[in-house]
Structure formats: structure tokens, C-alpha cells
Amino acid sequence: MKSEEKYLAFALGLAPKAIQFRYMDTSKVSFKSKKGPSLNMACQLCSGLAGTGLITVKGFDNTNFLQGGMALERLWLTITDNSLYLQPMTAITLFFLRYLLEGNNNFLDKHSNLLEKIIPEFKQVFPDVDLKDEALIMLFRIGKSSEITHRTLRKNTGSFVLNYSG
């Protein structure tokens, strides 16, 4: 990949709103002298990241979640068919859902405070999402990746699926 392509990929990795800039010391960044952010991991992440997305559904009943899962499956197949990868970031969506449905009763104070701090930032990145009426199915990153060298170990479903005939 040429330097220009790496710079473009890095800039795309800051999408959609480049909120990461507030964590960067941009005075140290110079594409001309090939200097970037000091964190190697940040550079690797941004250079492979093409975007961030969120799947939502209107409502919170089982049918809505099933439709969200079907949409996720179609998206995943389309992304992998185009030689890209999708990295789920599900913890935040699960915590948001629990927080919105049950309040802060099931969180420690420090975690509840963190969620209250993060929600406005989340709304800034996804301003069209109504957290009161839409269920968050999955937050994810899309990007390029090298070939997978180690596959996840899978169990045969017969070893853990129970047949019930009742």
C-alpha cells in the first residue's frame, strides 16, 4: 500500500465524526515527514478501518430483534463477500439496552456514571438514533484485514444442543 493510500485509510478510520482528534496531539502529525500519532495501535486501527456502523430496529419486542439479526446476517455476508471484515463492538449496545430498560439499578455507581457520560457522545456520533424508541442491535467497525491465520475452534452442535420433544 502506498503512503497516500495509508494516509487516506487512516483518515477514513477517524470517521464518522473524527471525535478521536481530541485525544491526539495533532502538532506532532506531519504526513510530509511521515510522523503520526504516537500510539502504534491507534495507527494500525485507523489505517485498516473504513467506517463505523450501527444496526437499529424500531421497538423492543422479539420480532424486532429477530429482524435486526436478519439484517446483521445480510450485512455480514455482504461485507465478507467484498473482502472486508466486520468487528462487532457489542458490549456498549448491550449495556445501553440494559441501562435504558432497567435504569442504573443493576450497575455500580462508577459504571452508571460512565454510561451517563458516554451516552451524549454516542448521540453525537449517531444523531439520528432515538435511544428511547430504537433497539441497538450491533455497533461495529468495518475495514480491511490480512488473511485469518487461526480459525476459531468450533464444537459440533450435537455436543451441546438438547433435543426436546414435549
Ordered per-residue pLDDT tens for the chain, 166 residues:
566 666 555 555 555 455 555 656 667 666 677 666 555 555 555 555 567 889 999 998 999 999 999 999 999 899 888 888 888 888 888 888 888 888 888 888 888 888 888 888 888 888 899 888 898 999 888 877 666 666 777 777 777 677 767 5
Within the chain, strands assigned E span 49-58, 85-88, 134-143
Is 83 within the bounds of a domain?
yes
Is 89 within the bounds of a domain?
yes
Interatomic CA distance for residues 9 and 105, integer angstroms: 42
CA 96-99-104 angle, 5° bins = 145
Is 34 within the bounds of a domain?
yes
Give the domain extent around 85. 3-145
Q: How many domains does the chain have?
A: 1
Is 86 within the bounds of a domain?
yes
Is 160 within the bounds of a domain?
no
What interhelical angle do 109-125 and 90-102 show, nearest 10?
110
State if pTM tops 0.75.
Answer: no
